């Protein structure tokens, strides 16, 4: 019975295309947007690729469209917004490079940094989300998630010059609002206190002000939780209430060092 229900839903959504094709399209539009492929220096090749990407997006929208959305109109709107998205991503790219002394060049960030790829795919998926295109924004985000370990819901709102450093394990929920020039490190969760379906239409995830830095493994929960501008959130903290601007929040732990020859409990064990 479960299989038949899934089969029926799949037919009603017409999700007959291979996800690998959409994943490949996501990688291709990223490369096209930044002219990573040397052939894109040829204007004719560049324009031909744009047309190919447009036709593919029209087809994807048609294949995942359970309601009456005009696929060509959505695609035209999406591609008209790409210059704006490109400018946002240029700001993100510069922020990655300027913030990481390990980065040897902007090109290295562009080609090798998972955080920048995840942010790029988010900004593309977010534009489709704003156009109320079904299914596809989530599939784009899940492609980036599977490649980078960074989970950004396409419905989140993220400002300019955004940085995710290292990135593994970052989770940003659907109704999160993130200001400009925010820096987030690995393992950070911007999540919800309540996960009931009844609260699905409410703001469930936190608001992060401008120029906030959130260090590794910090967890910030709740739709009413606001982190004020210019605050620094230390590693491993758990926050469920608002924090004023210019705050420093940190978790204080105790480290005890003993001579292991007198340690009361065995440290070697076998499971």
Average pLDDT, rounded, for the chain: 89
Residue 94 scores a pLDDT above 70? yes
Share of the chain above pLDDT 90, in %: 75
Mean pLDDT calculated for residue range 259-263: 63
Asked whether the predicted pLDDT for residue 108 surpasses 90, the reply is yes
Residue by residue, DSSP assigns the chain as -HHHHHHHHHHHHT--S-HHHHHHHHHHHHHHHTT-SGGGGSHHHHHHHHHHHHHHHHHHHHHT-SS---HHHHHHHHHHHHHHHHHHHHHHHHHHHHH-TT---HHHHHHH-HHHHHHHHHHHHHHHHHTT--SHHHHHHHHHHHHHS-EE-TT-EE-SS-EESS-TT-EE-TT-EE-TT-EE-TT-EEE-S---GGGTTS--S-EE-TT-EE-TT-EEE-TT-EEPTT-EE-TT-EE-S-B-TT-EE----------GGG-SS------
Please report the domains of the chain, with CATH numbers, ordered by start residue. Answer: 1-149 (1.10.3130.10), 156-253 (2.160.10.10)
Structure confidence at residue 66 as a pLDDT band (50, 70, 90): low
């Amino acid at each position: 019975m479960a299989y038949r229900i899934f089969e029926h839903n799949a037919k009603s959504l017409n999700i007959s295309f291979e996800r690998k094709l959409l994943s490949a399209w996501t990688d291709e539009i990223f490369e096209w947007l930044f002219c990573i492929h040397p052939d894109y220096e040829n204007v004719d090749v560049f324009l031909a690729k744009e047309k190919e990407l447009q036709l593919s997006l029209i087809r994807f929208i048609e294949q995942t469209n359970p309601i009456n959305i005009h696929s060509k109109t959505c695609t035209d709107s999406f591609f008209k917004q790409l210059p704006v998205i490109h400018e946002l991503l240029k700001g993100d790219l510069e922020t990655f490079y300027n913030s990481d002394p390990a980065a040897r060049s902007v090109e290295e960030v562009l080609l090798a940094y998972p955080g920048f790829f995840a942010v790029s795919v988010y900004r593309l998926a977010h534009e489709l989300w704003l156009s109320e295109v079904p299914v596809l924004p989530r599939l784009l985000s899940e492609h980036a998630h599977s490649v980078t370990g960074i989970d950004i819901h396409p419905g989140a709102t993220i400002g300019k010059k955004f940085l995710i450093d290292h990135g593994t394990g970052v989770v940003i929920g659907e109704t999160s609002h993130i200001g400009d020039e925010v820096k987030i490190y690995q393992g950070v969760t911007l999540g919800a206190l309540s996960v009931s379906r009844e609260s699905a239409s409410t703001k469930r995830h936190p608001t992060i002000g401008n120029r906030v830095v959130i260090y590794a493994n910090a967890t910030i929960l709740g739709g009413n939780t606001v982190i004020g501008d210019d605050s620094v959130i230390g590693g491993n903290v758990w926050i469920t209430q608002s924090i004023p601007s210019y705050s420093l929040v940190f978790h204080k732990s105790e480290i005890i060092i003993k001579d292991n020859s007198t340690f009361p409990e065995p440290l070697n064990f076998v499971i």
